[in-house]
Structure 1
């Protein structure tokens, strides 16, 4: 439990419920569902655009040939 408290303090969490998304500053979890949805959508989109994307996976077809995964 103390490790959780130290980690929360590291992120700047001072109360609960709090949300830390992608290492960004914490936000209060006491918000309307619509506001939480907006926040999550915005922060997750920012994380996705900042993350490196791996090349498409390859998979074998029936003949053993490699083709991009769909």
Structure 2
């Protein structure tokens, strides 16, 4: 099972909605919120999350697109 990490500072861009949607639709997926993931340039421009042990960065211009990308990674 994959683990998804989110930057709390990115929640204002819409990733909080993604976090809650994943939690509701995929309760077995582990999710973590961190104060900062060190991707400040990207964080200020797009929604993003870090997936898996390899720490693959997944980003999208909005929360809906990020949710779709994460769903594809989970499936």
Judging by fraction of residues, say which structure has more strand. Answer: 2
Q: Which one scores higher on RCO, CA 8 angstroms, separation ≥ 6?
A: 2
Higher CA-based Rg: 1
- With normalisation by structure 2, the TM-score equals 0.30
